[in-house]
Amino acid sequence: MNHSCLFRIILAIVSISCCLTNAQDHSSTLTEALDKLSLGIERLEAQDQGAEAIIAEAASELANAIDEQEVQSSGAYHALGNAYTLLGEHGYAMIAFRRGEQINPRDPRIQDSLSYVRDQIQIQVEPNIPNRVRAALISWRGLIPRSILWWSFISLFTLGWAILILRICARQLPSLRPLAITCLALACIPFAALGYEWSLDQGKPGVVVLYEINAMSGPDDAIYTPVYAEPLSAGVEGTLREVRDDWARLSLIDGTACWVPLDAISRINPPT
Amino acid sequence: MTPMLFTLRNALFVLAFAWVSSVCSAQVSSDSEDIRVEAELTRSSVYVGDEVSYSVAVYNAINPEQPVVEFPEGVKAIFHGRSSQSFTSMQYENGRRRSVTQRSYIFQYTLTAVVEGEVAIPAPSVKENGKVYTGNATSFRSLLPSESPDDELIVNIERTQLYLNETIEVECEWLIGDNTSEFNFSSSSVPESFQIRALPAPGNFHQIEFPLNGRPIIGYVTSQTQSGRQLSKFTFRFTITPTELGTYELGPLRTIFTRQSGTGSRYRAYAESDTTTIEVIPVPSDRRPDEYNGAIGEFELESRASNSRVHVGDPIGLTLRIRGQEPMTGVQDAPDLESIPSFAEHFKIDSEGWRESLPRREGVREYSTTIRALSDRVDEIPAIGLASFDPILGEYRVYQTSPIPLSVQAVREVTLADAIVSSGTQSTQSAERRSVEKVELTTAAPGLWAHGTADELMKSDGFDLAGTIQKPAWIATIATPPSLYLAAIVIATYRRNRDPEALTLRRAFAAARKYRGVDSLQCYLARALDINQDAVVASDVTLLPVDEPTRQALHSRLIEAEHPGISPNADPTECQRLLRSMHEQCLRAAKGGER
């Protein structure tokens, strides 16, 4: 064994150990944040006055850990949403739960928590017909796992092409072409469902994060009048349509649109 | 060597100490973002009755409670709610990035000074996590503009001695001297124990709404001639309801306005009414009915029954509507039917009593309940009375509904309704069977779930379409079947073209399909046998490797073509079938030969 080979082995060992250390560090950061959250909840149950400060710290650490380590699990966002909910920050809680829902819409923790937070929001917005249709089109998401849809697509897609290939190889089977076309057409259904759901998430869904924001009819509160008699409260969901200066145009699910200060809303999928 | 080592050790110690100190100080500085409370007024001096904005900003708090501000007596404060602002920045601490969000909460008030002079607002105190934080005191000057000699404000009230909770109408007339705008009555003096309610204005005049003592009042503008001058008159009416005994001063009602004189100059001025002394006395106890419950004024009572022909024990929906002048003090609930003997004796009354129909309409209270006739001898739903004190007559009156005729038929069988109705009257004869109260099971409302462990949180779950499609393995999986299909097509085409005899036959078949009838057969024969199409004769069929029936058929068609007189129009479908059959047999023979 020469020196070059030995050097490479040492380098590989060092790299692997660094990776393992990094992973352990990530896990330990999350563990610390979760421990802090548990402590905050215990203190909150005991009506300790410092409980909210501890939970706020846990929320900050969890958010940082998720961002830095690019954690993509619904459980992580569920824990973060819990922390914000306990702090009364329904806007940020809504964002966390919605991100968790995007990752795994079948997670019952996320579903229940979203329902809970939506119940806590004082402003009720009824969806209009187009939004009801959109909701109906993705109503499968809480029932059918995406992986099943994906495998259905792959199976039907592969089967369709396999039949076409078989038809070329065995010309005595002329009735195979309709079967192949049927398989390929059926394969489009799960793929379209997945694609439509993905495209909805790629829009610009946003959530009001500040309390009692007056929604204006234009991007200036000195010139334009309020759209609604009641201010929007944290947690109201909508879609970001336009940004002008420090104002954002938000479409609510009832089809109405309003302008709110840009720092009053936060996007569920912030641009990277 | 030893001194050198000692110096080095000291230097290291100093460095370590400096590092620890810097880390500690950074920690302290990050933790010492104290909660700060700042009060602010938008103006330093205002006229009496004009508004000034007052805000209390709380910095670095998480969820502060509403500030406690002891506003002085000469100031009316209206709270407009809380708004928040946040600013998020990234900070590096010990080489690690963390996001820091600074949040401020602003509590907004509108203040109206109702007296002249310096108005000092004490420091607001805000509670956060049990700790109280105090802000700064503020002050502003309240100025009274000059009194207008051209305006007159007159208050008309029918009586000045009122009974407690009596509602009486007040009319205010303002004779306006000249062009006027931006008026308010905010500095008017109305006793706190007086409830104020607006009265509607005539619809055929220009109406203006303004607040008086925090209540919206609607006034209207008319014209009036006084001393030969045409003046505008602003009139508004409202009711007052004294809620405490004693002697009170109503007024002066004061309007502060902007006057635009004939020269075009604008200035603020005021006009005020005289003060009216009002004595509030209690209703007399003499000849007070037992059922009197504090109602005062005139009322109208009306009752309705859901059905007038029933069986014993059938439920009858009974609705009672009471009309009167708001605030209808003393009509908190409908009269208790159990206390009316004619009801208690002949009817079983719903144990839940009256249910008020909400939302309320102005001057109307509507209640409903369910009653059941106890016997078939009942022939009417009795009148329901409401005792009230009439302040004009100075005596008590009982306002009543009209009785409702009722036809009750006896029942032959004992029903559940009878059992419920008769349980009260026959409980002495039969033992009462008790059971526990039943509670229907309902699905629990969704709540928060407990969070998982760190290991669970690190596991990626769910399915990401965009991520999956970008993975090389899945790209290969999706791309492979179409690629294989294309490859199969290429191979099949290559294999097909490799046999020249079969290729000739296919080209012949393709060319023949462009023709119809016998021409297609001739075309195929010419191409397959490599002869001129015009030179094709029926005997050429014998050169093709086809079975005997096909050969015979082909021969017949071609003979017919050579002799048009026999059969000028051969069946095209038959020719197509023959062409396909001939081609398939030839192809099969060519492949067989190849093999």
Closest CA of chain B from A10, distance in Å: 28
B84 contacts A211? CB cut-off 8 A: yes
Selected residue with higher pLDDT from B361 and A149: A149
**Per-residue model confidence as pLDDT tens digits over B495-524:** 877 778 888 888 899 999 888 888 898 899
| Per-residue b or e along B32-60, where b marks 16 or more CB atoms closer than 10 Å to that residue's CB | eeeeebebebeeeebbbbbbbebbbbbbb
Give the per-residue pLDDT at A259. Answer: 92
Name the range with the highest mean pLDDT among A135-144, A185-194, B94-103.
A185-194
Give the per-residue pLDDT at B486. Answer: 93
Q: CA torsion angle for B98, B101, B102, B105 (degrees, to 10)?
A: -160
Q: Which domains does chain B have, with CATH numbers?
A: 36-143 (2.60.40.740), 146-281 (2.60.40), 299-422 (2.60.40.10), 498-594 (no CATH)
**Least confident range of A3-7, A44-48, B48-52, B368-372:** A3-7
User: How confident is the prediction for chain B on average, in pLDDT?
Assistant: 81
Give the per-residue pLDDT at B180. Answer: 86
A87 contacts B63? CB cut-off 8 A: yes
Select from B129, B449, B484 the Cβ nearest to the Cβ of A50. Answer: B129
Cβ contact B578:B553 at 8 Å: yes
Distance CA A162, CA A156 (A): 10
Q: Does residue B431 register a pLDDT over 50?
A: no
User: How confident is the prediction for chain A on average, in pLDDT?
Assistant: 84
Give the per-residue pLDDT at B569. Answer: 59
Closest CA to A87 of A111, A63, A122, A59: A59
Structure tokens at B60: 């670095």
**Per-residue model confidence as pLDDT tens digits over A98-129:** 999 888 888 888 888 888 888 888 788 888 89
Closest CA of chain B from A131, distance in Å: 23
> Would you tell me how many other CB atoms lie within 10 Å of the CB of residue B301?
20
Superfamily of domain A3-120, CATH level 4: Tetratricopeptide repeat domain (1.25.40.10)
Backbone angles phi, psi at B261, to 5 degrees: -80, 175
B98 contacts A112? CB cut-off 8 A: no
Give the per-residue pLDDT at A258. Answer: 92
Say which residue the tokens 């969704």 belong to.
Answer: B446
Name the range with the highest mean pLDDT among A108-117, B56-65, B227-236, B470-479.
B470-479
CATH architecture for segment(s) A204-267 = Roll (2.30)
Q: How many helices (H) and strands (E) does chain A have?
A: 8, 5
Structure tokens at B11: 């230097």
Give the per-residue pLDDT at B156. Answer: 92
Taking CA atoms, what residue in B is nearest to A28? B454
Interface test mutation site (partner B, options A20, A146, A272, max chain B beta carbons within 10 A): A146
Contacts of A212 in chain B (CB under 8 A): 81-84
Closest CA of chain B from A143, distance in Å: 13
B225 touching chain A per CB within 8 A: no
Q: Does residue A157 register a pLDDT over 50?
A: yes
Cβ contact B286:B327 at 8 Å: no
Closest CA to B128 of A88, A62, A119, A118: A88
In percent, the amount of chain B with pLDDT more than 70 equals 84
**Per-residue model confidence as pLDDT tens digits over B18-43:** 555 444 444 434 444 578 899 999 88
B459 contacts A211? CB cut-off 8 A: no
Domains A3-120 and A204-267 are alike in CATH topology: no
Going by pLDDT thresholds of 50, 70 and 90, the confidence category of residue B413 is: very low
Cβ contact B509:B568 at 8 Å: no
Select from A52, A73, A74 the Cβ nearest to the Cβ of B129. Answer: A52
B468 contacts A87? CB cut-off 8 A: no
Closest CA of chain B from A225, distance in Å: 17
Select from A30, A67, A197 the Cβ nearest to the Cβ of B457. Answer: A30
Closest CA to B240 of B292, B283, B201, B276: B276
Distance CA B234, CA A103 (A): 65
Arithmetic mean of pLDDT, B524-547: 87
**Per-residue model confidence as pLDDT tens digits over B327-350:** 887 787 888 888 888 888 888 888
A27 contacts B449? CB cut-off 8 A: no
Select from B129, B445, B488 the Cβ nearest to the Cβ of A165. Answer: B488
Select from A49, A116, A211 the Cβ nearest to the Cβ of B82. Answer: A211
A231 contacts B457? CB cut-off 8 A: no
ipTM of this complex prediction, to 2 decimal places: 0.74
Q: Does residue A93 register a pLDDT over 50?
A: yes
Pairing of β B215-226 and β B152-157: unpaired
Give the per-residue pLDDT at A150. Answer: 93
DSSP strand E in B313-453: where?
A: 315-324, 347-349, 355-356, 364-373, 380-381, 385-390, 395-400, 404-405, 407-409
Going by pLDDT thresholds of 50, 70 and 90, the confidence category of residue B481 is: very high
Pairing of β B138-143 and β B45-47: parallel
Long-range interactions of B266-269: CB distance < 8 A, separation 24+: B267/B145, B267/B146, B268/B47, B268/B145, B269/B145, B269/B146, B269/B147, B269/B148, B269/B151
Closest CA of chain B from A239, distance in Å: 21
Alpha helices in B499-571 (DSSP H): 500-512, 518-529, 548-562
Structure tokens at B161: 């001695």
Taking CA atoms, what residue in A is nearest to B484? A165
Give the per-residue pLDDT at B21. Answer: 46
B568 touching chain A per CB within 8 A: no
A85 contacts B448? CB cut-off 8 A: yes
A116 contacts B446? CB cut-off 8 A: yes
- With 0-12 / 13-18 / 19 or more C-beta atoms within 10 angstroms meaning exposed / middle / buried, residue B242 is buried
Q: Does residue B412 register a pLDDT over 70?
A: no
Contacts of B481 in chain A (CB under 8 A): 157-158, 160-162, 165
Pairing of β B146-147 and β B266-272: parallel
What are residue B266's DSSP bridge partners?
A: B260
Q: Where are the domains of chain A?
A: 3-120, 140-202, 204-267
**CA pseudo-torsion sign B445, B446, B450, B452:** positive
Give the per-residue pLDDT at A5. Answer: 64
Q: Does residue B547 register a pLDDT over 70?
A: yes
Going by pLDDT thresholds of 50, 70 and 90, the confidence category of residue A213 is: confident
Taking CA atoms, what residue in A is nearest to B464? A103
Closest CA of chain A from B170, distance in Å: 32
Taking CA atoms, what residue in A is nearest to B486? A165
Closest CA of chain B from A4, distance in Å: 33
**CA pseudo-torsion sign A192, A195, A200, A204:** negative
Q: Does residue A175 register a pLDDT over 90?
A: no
B479 touching chain A per CB within 8 A: no
Interface test mutation site (partner A, options B97, B448, B475, max chain A beta carbons within 10 A): B448
B32 touching chain A per CB within 8 A: no
B63 contacts A104? CB cut-off 8 A: no
Select from B465, B477, B492 the Cβ nearest to the Cβ of A198. Answer: B465
Select from B81, B460, B488 the Cβ nearest to the Cβ of A73. Answer: B460
B460 touching chain A per CB within 8 A: yes
